Amino acid sequence: MVLDTGQYASGYLQIAVDEHPEAVVFKQRVRSSVKVSVCGDCGYLEFYAEQPGLMYRAYQNMLNNE
Ligand SMILES: [Zn+2]
């Protein structure tokens, strides 16, 4: 998921995986900052998670918790 980056957000794009998405309170949310590369000619954007291994482990934990 992509987290809200509205007026009161941190100002940095983040993605997150909830290890326990069904939990009411303790969803065990794991976040990663996102690096953005932009082409100075056409504006094409690429996004990279800064901690991809962390996000993948959280995703695997989420699957194991189902
Ligand atoms: Zn380009």
1 in a domain, yes or no? no
49 in a domain, yes or no? yes
**Residue 10 pLDDT exceeds 60:** no
Q: How far is the CA of 40 from the centre of ligand 1 (A)?
A: 7
DSSP 3-state assignment of 65?
coil
33 in a domain, yes or no? yes
Q: How far is the CA of 44 from the centre of ligand 1 (A)?
A: 5
The whole-angstrom separation of Cα 62 and Cα 66 is 7
Domain count, the chain: 1
Q: How far is the CA of 54 from the centre of ligand 1 (A)?
A: 30
9 in a domain, yes or no? no
For the stretch 45-65, pLDDT in tens is: 999 999 999 999 999 999 998
Residues whose CB falls within 8 Å of the CB of residue 22, separated by 6 or more in sequence, listed in order:
none
Q: How far is the CA of 48 from the centre of ligand 1 (A)?
A: 17
Span of 1-10, 13-22, 51-60 with lowest mean pLDDT: 1-10
27 in a domain, yes or no? yes
18 in a domain, yes or no? yes
* Residue 29 domain boundaries: 14-64
6 in a domain, yes or no? no
8 in a domain, yes or no? no
The per-residue pLDDT of the chain, averaged, comes to: 85
